[in-house]
Amino acid sequence: MSEPVLSLPDKPSLAVLPFQNMTGDVEQDYFVDGMVEEIITALSRIRWLFVIARNSSFAYRGKAVDVRQIARELGVRYVLEGSVRKAGNRVRITGQLIDTTTGSHIWAERFDGTLDDIFELQDQVASNVVGAIEPKLRFAEIERARQKPTDSLDAYDLYLRAIAEYHRWTPEGHAAAICLLRRALAIDPSYAPAAAMVAFCMHNQRLEGWRSLSSTEVADAVSLARQAIEVGKGDPDTLWMSSGTLSALAGEHDTALTGIERAVTLNPNSAYAWQARGYVLCYRKQPGPAIEAFQRAARLSPLDPFRWSFAAGIAFAHVAAGRYAEAIEWADRCLRENPRHSPLLRAKAVSYAHLGRISEARDALQCLLEFQPWLTISNLALPSLAPELIAVYVDGLRKAGMPEE
């Protein structure tokens, strides 16, 4: 029996209106229009979002039109609008994202810059806008799916609800997400993002120690990831989730890095794709470039609900580099927001142990064992790390007092 051909979901839709030039300077129109075109191009890289072409949205230039009318005429659910003001060599750009079904603002922000390098400023604003509104759009879609009656849910709505459960970052949340995603695959067996997320959730369950995976389950997760990465080549979220799974569960770091590089090319503003790149580079024992990737992720999404995970990645990279004091500092930053993140508790215990601070290593280990009392050296589930990095972890946890069996 052949594998199903995986597909991508129906997409929410958005129009970017021409920003208002509040300066009255005709030459400024060129800068404003160029900036909006950069925003449209960047948003078009988000594969789950349908973005109206520039020529259609620019038909509303200079017109006072209600966003609900625009929604009807262009067939969009969201509208991004804004304005530009200039004072000397400085410009202030404001933007707001509107849900046309309710008329409510779901995001608003302003950006300041100088006209020393117009093209750099256009790129910077486009990157900042996309990095800020992508999670807002996703959460708006999740809320829309939550409000739907359960008997009208399609595969895409189930996928959105699964994302909400995933973001709880609990054993129960991940289990619920997998159930929702498998329901989505039952409706549409060719649904690539759902297949990728099932695999990634299973990887997270193993990494966090929420449950062990049998060899059959690992093979299932790897198979789903391979199917998704093969067909979802144009979807960055599918690519980074599938690639991250292949790296962690199958040790296919080169294949994973190729997939993630494509994800970053498709959407350079995807914080999670950059984060996935960082972890794969850590697994390959390349901590320097890994830290750069995690820092890029943090800059792209500074208010992300998972921002603690960017600090976690940097801490992991410092462990890989043997910089244990720095690893502890970054681990503490992460643990202040997510005190149950077991990979960081492991890293903290290991770092203290290799610094000879055994008492503190034992305290960190005790915190870990309070959450996962069954952990031992023999059943420790580590990703597919380089052998020398596995030795660093095992030796450190032994020094900290982790039981062998």
Of 133, 168, 193, the domain-final residue = 133
- Measured in degrees and rounded to the nearest 5, phi and psi for residue 393 equal -70, -50
142 within a domain of the structure (yes/no): no
246 and 276 co-located in one domain: no
Domain that holds residue 198: 148-256
The CATH number for 165's domain is 1.25.40.10
203 and 319 co-located in one domain: no
The two structure tokens encoding residue 252: 């296919």
Give me the pLDDT at residue 194, please: 93
46 within a domain of the structure (yes/no): yes
Please, are residues 33 and 72 in contact by the beta-carbon 8 Å criterion? no
pLDDT digits (tens, 9 = 90+) for 367-404: 999 988 888 998 887 778 888 999 999 999 999 999 99
Top pLDDT among 17 and 48 is at 17
The CATH number for 109's domain is 3.40.50.10610
Give me the pLDDT at residue 2, please: 46
215 within a domain of the structure (yes/no): yes
What type of residue is 210?
W
Domains held by the chain: number: 3
- Measured in degrees and rounded to the nearest 5, phi and psi for residue 401 equal 105, 15
Cβ atoms within 10 Å of 110's Cβ, excluding its own: 12
Maximum alpha-carbon separation in the chain: 75
pLDDT digits (tens, 9 = 90+) for 318-359: 999 999 999 999 999 999 999 989 999 999 999 999 999 999
306 and 247 co-located in one domain: no
168 and 111 co-located in one domain: no
